[in-house]
């Protein structure tokens, strides 16, 4: 598909026609439940963001609040109640989009306990979304992944392109995928929103067929506007054309 040139981060880049979000169907990473993490603050925020997702063409969102032992101590019950509240508000406002909930689990001291107790919110085929600290790879990363798999969960690593400690070794992402971990890319990483370095790694991961899921990681309405830019990138077109994304199966 032909596009036009745009100067982004000092170099010319081809801007394509936007992909159709209706082809993705399902978003797998967002923060739409109000008041429980760093995403939506009010139910009005929730409705505005989800209405924006509907306008883009999504038919379903799987919202994933943070669960962190030292900061966002959200229980499964808290998240489900919050999701029910948002679902009721969507119905009241006639916003016709399906919503489910899971969580974005931080790999901390309590995650292994939750795995062993099988107290994890999942989506799809028992998928569990989890994230790492940004300062360095946890020493127990491999063991937690193994315990998840042993308990019958499918680990999904959130935004691996954002972990700077792996940026100098693209083979690390292949190693993780080879361990059976699905890699979930943040769509807005392809716009340079997080940094040029994150954008570069995200593009390399797409080129190397490492991405199984793509998510908005939407925290606020500004992220919706950024997604419109991401939709015009060559990498978004490549992801859809490769046919490897699992979003539409959820």
In-domain check, residue 188: yes
Q: How confident is the model at residue 5 (pLDDT cuts 50, 70, 90)?
A: very low
Cβ–Cβ under 8 Å, residues 87 and 50: no
**Non-local CB neighbours of 12 within 8 Å, separated by 6+ positions:** 5, 6
In-domain check, residue 142: yes
Q: How confident is the model at residue 107 (pLDDT cuts 50, 70, 90)?
A: very high
pLDDT, tens digit, 9 for 90 and up, residues 220-234: 999 999 999 999 999
Average pLDDT of the residues in 211-224: 98
In-domain check, residue 7: no
Which pair of structure tokens corresponds to residue 212?
A: 């199984």
Q: Which domain holds residue 23?
A: 18-249
Is 80 exceeded by the pLDDT of residue 7? no
pLDDT at position 38, please? 97
Count structural domains, the chain: 1
pLDDT at position 106, please? 98
**Non-local CB neighbours of 60 within 8 Å, separated by 6+ positions:** 25, 26, 27, 97, 98, 99, 100, 250
Least confident of 14-23, 119-128, 239-248: 14-23
pLDDT at position 102, please? 98
Buried-exposed string 53-72: b where 16+ CB fall within 10 A, e elsewhere: bbebebbbbbbbbbbbeeeb
CB neighbours of residue 220 within 10 Å: 15
Is 70 exceeded by the pLDDT of residue 163? yes
Is 80 exceeded by the pLDDT of residue 162? yes
In-domain check, residue 12: no
Which SS3 state, helix, strand or coil, does residue 41 take? Answer: coil
| φ/ψ (deg, to 5) at 123 | -140, 165
- Please give the C-alpha separations between residue 83 and each of 72, 86, 99, 102, 124, in angstroms, as whole numbers: 16, 5, 8, 9, 17
In-domain check, residue 65: yes
In-domain check, residue 1: no
Distance CA 231, CA 21 (A): 8
Is 80 exceeded by the pLDDT of residue 86? yes
Average pLDDT of the residues in 148-177: 97
pLDDT, tens digit, 9 for 90 and up, residues 63-74: 999 999 988 999
pLDDT, tens digit, 9 for 90 and up, residues 111-129: 999 999 999 999 999 999 9
DSSP sequence for 85-99: HHHHHHHHTT---EE
List the CATH number of the domain containing 24: 3.20.20.140
Helix axes 234-242, 196-207, angle to 10 degrees: 30
In-domain check, residue 13: no
In-domain check, residue 10: no
The DSSP letter of residue 102 is -
pLDDT at position 10, please? 47
| Average predicted confidence (pLDDT) for the chain | 94
**Non-local CB neighbours of 228 within 8 Å, separated by 6+ positions:** 18, 56
Helix axes 76-92, 43-56, angle to 10 degrees: 70
């Amino acid at each position: 598909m032909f596009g036009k040139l745009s100067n982004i981060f000092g170099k010319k880049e081809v801007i394509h026609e936007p992909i159709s979000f209706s082809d993705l169907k399902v978003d797998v990473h967002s923060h739409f439940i109000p008041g429980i993490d760093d995403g939506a603050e009010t139910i009005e925020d929730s409705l505005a963001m989800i209405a924006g997702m509907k306008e883009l063409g999504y038919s379903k969102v799987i919202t994933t609040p943070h669960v962190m032992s030292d900061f966002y101590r959200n229980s499964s019950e808290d998240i489900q109640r919050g999701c029910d509240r948002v679902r009721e508000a969507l119905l009241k406002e006639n916003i016709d989009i399906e919503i489910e909930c899971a969580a974005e689990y931080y790999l901390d001291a309590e995650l292994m306990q939750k795995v062993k107790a099988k107290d994890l919110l999942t989506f799809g085929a028992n998928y569990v979304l989890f994230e790492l600290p940004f300062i360095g790879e946890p020493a127990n990363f491999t063991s937690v992944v193994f315990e998840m798999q042993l308990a019958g969960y499918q680990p999904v690593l959130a935004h691996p392109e954002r972990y700077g400690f792996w940026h100098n070794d693209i083979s690390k992402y292949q190693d993780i995928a080879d361990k059976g971990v699905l890699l979930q890319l943040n769509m807005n990483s392809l716009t340079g929103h997080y940094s040029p370095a994150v954008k570069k790694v995200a593009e390399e991961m797409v080129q190397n067929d490492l991405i199984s899921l793509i998510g908005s990681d939407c925290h606020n309405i500004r992220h919706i506007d950024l997604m419109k830019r991401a939709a015009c990138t060559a990498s978004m077109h490549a992801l859809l054309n490769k046919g490897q994304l699992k979003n539409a199966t959820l």
